[in-house]
Amino acid sequence: MSDIGKIIELISRGTENFISVYYRALDGHRENIPLLFEPNAPIVYNGNPLMGGEAYAELYSRMPPTVHDVTGYDCHPLAVAGANGQLSIALTTSGKVRIGSDRGKGLCGFSETFILRPQPDGKFRVGSCGYRLVYRAEDDLEP
């Protein structure tokens, strides 16, 4: 395997862990959301700009419960070195999210794009992200 192949394999394993931790925070441990972001990370949620994990946590605190099901992701290294010479990571996720607790209602598709930046402590945090609802099941229902 080439060096780039090894890097991508390593990044892929690391992003799987990030995905699990991140969506667990959104769906049930919203107090942990700020820990996953750089303090001034630009965020766009459905076209609405926010600044930092605290603002994102505040937004989610006003939302009904969510359950995300990530059905796909893609990641690759960016040619910009961060802390300790580590590369940043571009990550895109997609899947379904249930908003609210009513069965059969509130099911949407979503797509989220992240730039994950290495930190001096060896962890990666969200340097920027964009979240977009892409489909609502009730849009297909006829009146």
Residue 46 pLDDT: 95
Question: CATH no. for residue 77?
Answer: 3.10.450.50
* Domain total of the chain: 1
Beta strand pairing status for 48-51 and 87-99?
Answer: unpaired
pLDDT one-digit tens code per residue, 70-105 = 999 999 888 766 556 678 999 999 999 998 877 667
Q: Is 140 exposed, middle or buried (0-12, 13-18, 19+ CB in 10 A)?
A: exposed
- Which pLDDT band, with edges at 50, 70 and 90, does 143 fall under? very low
Residue ranges making up the domain that contains 21: 3-140
pLDDT one-digit tens code per residue, 15-49 = 999 999 999 999 999 999 999 999 999 999 999 99
Return the amino acid letter for 2.
S
CA angle 112, 116, 121 (to 5 degrees): 145
pTM of the model: 0.85
DSSP E strand boundaries for 1-143? 42-45, 48-51, 66-81, 87-99, 107-118, 124-136
